[in-house]
């Protein structure tokens, strides 16, 4: 499963939306209905899913699913490719 699929899986479960409705351009708040608490919870869930630590403010700056995927890939790359 690639990074985008894993992100979509986490988002679908947390926000209770159909995984097929989640696109790279989907905005967490506007399109998927995330509130501020859910956005923070998503950051924590992404950290758990990918076994990484992210700067919360920088992670929250990613407003779209595709933005989150790009951000997570960069964090993994910066950590020397360490993932689960």
pLDDT along the chain (84 residues), means of 10: 96 97 97 96 97 95 97 92 53
pLDDT for 66 equals 98
Domain segments of the chain as ranges: 3-16+23-78
Which residue among the candidates 21, 35, 55, 78 is catalytic per the annotation?
35
Distance CA 19, CA 4 (A): 11
pLDDT for 79 equals 85
21 is catalytic: no
Provide the CB-side half-sphere exposure for 5 (13 A, CA): 2
Q: pTM (2 decimals)?
A: 0.91
pLDDT for 28 equals 97
pLDDT for 84 equals 46
* CATH code given to domain 3-16+23-78: 1.10.1200.10
Look-up: residue for tokens 């998927």? 32
pLDDT for 82 equals 54
């Amino acid at each position: 499963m690639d990074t985008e699929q894993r992100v979509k899986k986490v988002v679908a479960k947390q926000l209770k939306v159909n995984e097929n409705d989640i696109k790279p351009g989907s905005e967490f708040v506007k399109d998927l209905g995330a509130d501020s608490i859910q956005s923070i919870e998503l950051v924590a869930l992404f950290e758990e899913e990918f076994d990484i630590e992210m700067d919360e403010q920088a992670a929250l700056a990613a407003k779209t699913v595709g933005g989150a995927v790009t951000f997570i890939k960069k964090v993994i790359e910066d950590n020397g490719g360490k993932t689960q």
